[in-house]
Amino acid sequence: MDDQKEESSSRSSTSIFESLEHFRTLYSEQVQKPDDSYDGLKARVKVLQKWVKDLTDQNDLLVKTVEELETDALQRLTLLEANITDNQNPQISSCNLSTKGLDQVEGLRQELEDVKKQLSEKEKLVAKYQNRIIELRGSIEKGRSSDEQVFVQRNVVSELHEFNFDQEQQSHSSVKKELEVTQTQLCHMEKEVSQLKKKLKEADCNVKRLRSDLVASEKNARDMRSALTAEVAEKHDQILALRREVAALEDLLRQADMQTHFKDDIIKELRKEVKVARSKETLVEVLGIKERSLSHLEHLTEQLEQKEHTIGCLKNQLQQYREAPNALYRIRQQVDWFTENISQQCASGNVPEEFKKCITTMLEELRESIECCNLVPSSTGPCKVR
């Protein structure tokens, strides 16, 4: 029965230490994963917290196991002392005493073999106990008296008690060493947890700062986009109005040119008529024709001056409109400045990709609109719209 208890306790201790080693390896692998991201640090902190909790539970389990071993050793010592007390009774026959002694020696031998399996470093001590067992067996075979047998058993029990005490002390020392190692690891883990918490706090601060920068950049981009949209719409309306005005001025200029050419032909014909009238012999006819020609010529001269004044006004308006490409050039410079500024903000890495694509597309459309509204000189007329 005692052997079965020792076997079960030995197996349970072995399984416990194997489980502890398995958990230590598992947690070490999880903690040593090279992941410095925000989620990785957070997961590592959780693993360390869980490891600390498991180490606390394992320490409690080790203390409980030591207490159980102490209780079991005390129970076995009490049982051996009771057997010695029974052997001291003089009413027990020598045959029964020999049988009990043999059984007890066999139990001690089995116990020593189990101890030898568990504690290989105690081979010398086990050999000494085996010699004592052989001596005890020889003394029983030679028929020694019960007093001598009891004395030998007392010595064996006392030495066994000392051995159990030494074994318990070694077990306590090993448990204490394990506890010290565990506490050292726990302190190291607490330091690492504090460092990870510090890194996590710094990462949170960086995330907040980046978010605030992103919000400010998005606000600036929205304001810039609204200003650009309003200015482009205004310039587009101005360009359309200038197109209509230029078309009307070109029609008026074309009509004025045609009328000017027509008046020149009339003046030439009148001059010819004046020359013909001068060749007339009759003065009255000449005078009459001259008066009519002069009045007609004055009338034509007035019309010609009016047309020239109209042509001058049209030329001034046309000159003003031909200066419109300069305004378009200034608008194009402003668009290029906005494009360069937005490109610099995008290159800093604080602007999302979707917003960057949206701004780029809007600026390209704005450039195309300006190019479509560009005014160039015409080869056949004063100006044409492209």
Query: Could you read off the pLDDT of 270-301 as tens digits, one per residue?
Result: 777 777 666 655 555 545 555 666 676 677 77
181: Cα separation from own chain's centroid: 36
What pLDDT does 238 receive? 84
> Tokens standing for 41?
């640090």
What pLDDT does 65 receive? 72
What pLDDT does 118 receive? 52
In percent, how much of the chain has pLDDT > 90?
0
Of 8-12, 299-303, 308-312, 357-361, the range with the lowest mean pLDDT is 8-12
What pLDDT does 126 receive? 45
pLDDT, tens only, 110-163? 655 555 455 455 455 445 545 555 555 555 455 445 444 445 555 554 555 555
What pLDDT does 379 receive? 35
Cβ neighbours of 61 (radius 10 Å): 13
What pLDDT does 96 receive? 47
Res 58 pLDDT > 50: yes
What pLDDT does 219 receive? 86
> Tokens standing for 340?
């360069």
Of 60-64, 92-96, 174-178, 181-185, the range with the lowest mean pLDDT is 92-96
* Max Cα distance, the chain (Å): 199
Task: Evaluate if pTM is beyond 0.85.
Answer: no
